[in-house]
Chains A and B, each alone.
Chain A
Amino acid sequence: MGKNRKKVQVVVLLLALLLGGYAIVQSFTSNDSGLVKEGQQVPEFRLANLQGEPVALEDYVGKPVVINFWGTFCEPCIREMPSFERQHEQWKDQGVEILAINLSEDTLTVSNYVKKLGVTYTILRDVNRKTEKRYGIRSYPTTFFVNRDGTLSSVFVGEMKESQIEERISKIVQQ
């Protein structure tokens, strides 16, 4: 009887700890903005670039990645693109990749803008706003700085200054 009781105690408390612990941990990970949280893995994607070739996030495992969501209709997005271009030039030898995901616009519109702006980093094309929704984007531009292991280092909502971009990229490079 006494031994049995111990077993019941351990099993019940362990179950409470497991189920309860899971529920409590879950409550920490849900958040206000719906954006991916720092330290979490960012969602995978496989999208077409401007040449129509597939580019997946997993192609960049082990590299620091900057994911920028932008649209031609978003003036601050367009304004910050030259800064990203310069930062791309500065960091590309250290393996930093910039993936700029366009918000489901036409090929023609996007390529015209990219040509006009002289952007050389990778432009990707979201479809049906699916990737955007998976990342929980609510306003544009939004930029994710992703560590080499695919976890989120930081996220910035709004137009970025070049110094801010530099600071955040140097963080993910050092990681």
Chain B
Amino acid sequence: MLLPVNTKCECGHQNAVGTVLCESCGKPLEKELLESNEPLEMRYDGVARRSQKANPDYLDKIWNFFSSVKIAIYLIIITFVGAMLGTIFPQASTFISSTFDPSVYYAEQYGLPGKIYYFLGLHRTYTSWWFITLLVMIATSLVICSIDRVLPLYRALSKQQIRKHHAFLKRQKATYSTTLAEDEAEWTKQYGQALRKKGYKVFVDESGTALLAEKNRFSRWGPYINHIGLILFLLAVLARSIPGWNVDQYVSIADGDTVPIVGTNYYVKSEGFKIELYENEELPEELKDSGRIKSFKTEVVLYECSANCNDDFEQPTLTEVHQHTILVNDPLRYKELKLHQFDFNLTPRINAVSPMVVNVQTGESYGPFHLKMVEPELHYEVGPYTLELIDKYMDFAINSEGEPITLSSSPNAPAFIFNIKGPGLAEAGEVFMYFPLEKDKVRFSQDTINRELANKVAIKVEGMENVDFSAATTHLNVRIDKAIKYLWIGAVISMIGLVMGTYWQHRRIWLRIDDQQLTLGAHTNKNWYGLRADIAYALKHCGIELDPKSLDNGGHKG
């Protein structure tokens, strides 16, 4: 088909290589096609695809590969199959635990299939190189297919020849011919008027005996607008891999703490997590005392770092930018950042205590002094006593070798070792071990450890007002998705194109009268029923009554 052939039509028009129907008069150009009697294939009005060329070079070959709709369909099918494979087992990205290890999980959970799944990298299907490559290829194909088809089609539709070849008219799927008794030009004018009433744009050539009536040409651009939307959508999906465009992580904040959101310039402070239960009066009989949760909420303050942000040696300068009470389904929104309530933990965390130093022998107490769990002061003067902090454990325990250790960096069982100097104590001071939490005092037998010193001095917290603690820890999901608005724009454009191409049809009716002989042909992309009704309506207006069905030349599906 792409051999160098004479592409000049008998009407004198020079057509491009690959043209099926003459761009001007519509005569079939290929010999076989001309001799056949089948209705014509009207796709792209028979014009050549842009890239069809007699001698394709290397670049043309790549271009032609992507220009093929067949290739595009294969690409889409392969992508579908790939996407389906990704749904067999859960994707690794759906696990948020920091200890989640995909190399172990899939094998343990699903056995051999899981092992293979992991081995093939299907646990990260949608971010894998081959899946992204397929998406990129589809996007390329969309662009190239569209360019190759929309430009020639636009040219063909914007300079249509009114008088078409007989072969073209007679081989349309809706066609009609008869011999007229009336004046040719007058009849044509009348027929045109009837079609104008139906909303057609009517063009008559200078002889007044050939007519083109056309309606809803814009619907032809629907698929291309749809493609533009899809391309935007795909680009938005690919844009998510730009660092900072798509953030999905979790922060845990104890009441009163301010924590950085790593990977952003934000810090977030929790002013307290609150959980509210339904009152018994609000519950039906069978649910009374069942502790139904009414709401979870976290009061947060969002800060933006304005100086020393990437320097952990200096204190960052924080500027408050937003405050919000986060509820389920009511996240904090600030620019592209969203903070969703995700989980909570009601285990209290001790932050500081303000104990008194008690002289056990006299019963006199001094203080209180403020003792922080994190980065405490090392030196305290309390009444006649001097306390030197010499060691401290956040999560005190004794290891297998009998040495004191800390199990974690959270203050689960804080322990402080002081060197105390004061009345009745040794000159160089005596070592005193202090557990702020009552349960630890008992568990680790503070008094036994301190031996006779326990009879001389005590460190005691009087009342809960001297304990500073965080009642709860809130877990928030941090989301940034800068691509989402482009996804929406792409989806809307794509939908506009789809509607344009679906709910309107491009209808065209051509006719010519030669020596009182009328030949009429018509084409639409769908709803032939409507088109035939339009032809019959206008014919009736000109005095020819017929059953619209009789216009059917066969060969179509609607």
Contact = CB atoms under 8 A, between A and B. Distances in A.
B1 to A, nearest CB: 19
A24 B132 contact: yes
Given A24-B129, A128-B260, A19 B238 contact: yes
B395 A73 contact: yes
A32 to B, nearest CB: 6
A32 B313 contact: no
A13 B127 contact: no
A75 interface: yes
Contacts of B399: 75
B389 A73 contact: no
B370 to A, nearest CB: 16
Interface residues of B, number: 54
B391 A108 contact: yes
Interface stretch (A129-137, A146-154, A162-170): A129-137
B132 A27 contact: yes
Nearest to B135: A23
A12 B144 contact: yes
B102 interface: yes
Contacts of B124: 32
A156 interface: no
A106 B392 contact: yes
A5 B59 CA distance: 11
Contacts of B310: 44, 46
A23 B262 CA distance: 23
B259 A108 contact: no
B143 A108 contact: no
A12 B147 contact: yes
Count chain A CB atoms within 10 A of each CB in B259, B313, B391 and give the residue with the most: B313
Contacts of A47: 312-313
Contacts of A39: none
A104 B392 CA distance: 15
Contacts of A26: 132, 241-242
Contacts of B380: none
Interface in B88-135: 92, 98-99, 102-103, 124, 127-129, 131-133, 135
B105 to A, nearest CB: 11
Contacts of B140: 12-13, 16, 20
A109 B393 contact: yes
A172 B241 CA distance: 31
Given A20-B140, A23-B238, A109-B392, A127 B375 contact: no
Given A106-B392, A130-B312, A27 B129 contact: yes
Count chain B CB atoms within 10 A of each CB in A9, A48, A105, A131 and give the residue with the most: A9
A72 interface: yes
B374 interface: yes
Interface residues of A, number: 46
Nearest to B57: A6
A73 B143 contact: no
Nearest to B308: A46
B491 interface: no
A24 B135 CA distance: 10
A71 interface: yes
A24 to B, nearest CB: 5
A138 B99 contact: yes
Interface stretch (B296-304, B334-342, B405-413): B405-413
Contact of B59 (A9, A45, A108, A128): A9
Contacts of B378: 108
A46 B127 contact: no
Interface in B377-393: 378, 389-393
B507 interface: no
A90 interface: no
Given A20-B136, A72-B406, A54 B128 contact: no
Contacts of B99: 138-139
Contact of B374 (A23, A32, A106, A112): A106
B241 A27 contact: yes
Contacts of B136: 16, 19-20, 23-24
A28 B129 contact: yes
Interface of B: 50-51, 59-60, 62-63, 92, 98-99, 102-103, 124, 127-129, 131-133, 135-137, 139-140, 143-144, 147, 235, 238, 241-242, 259-260, 262, 310-313, 374-376, 378, 389-395, 399, 405-409
The 7 closest A-B CB pairs, nearest first, are A20-B136, A26-B241, A54-B313, A133-B262, A16-B140, A23-B238, A127-B312
20 contacts: A5-B50, A6-B59, A8-B147, A12-B140, A19-B136, A20-B140, A22-B241, A23-B241, A24-B133, A27-B131, A45-B312, A73-B405, A73-B408, A75-B405, A106-B392, A108-B392, A109-B393, A112-B391, A128-B312, A139-B99
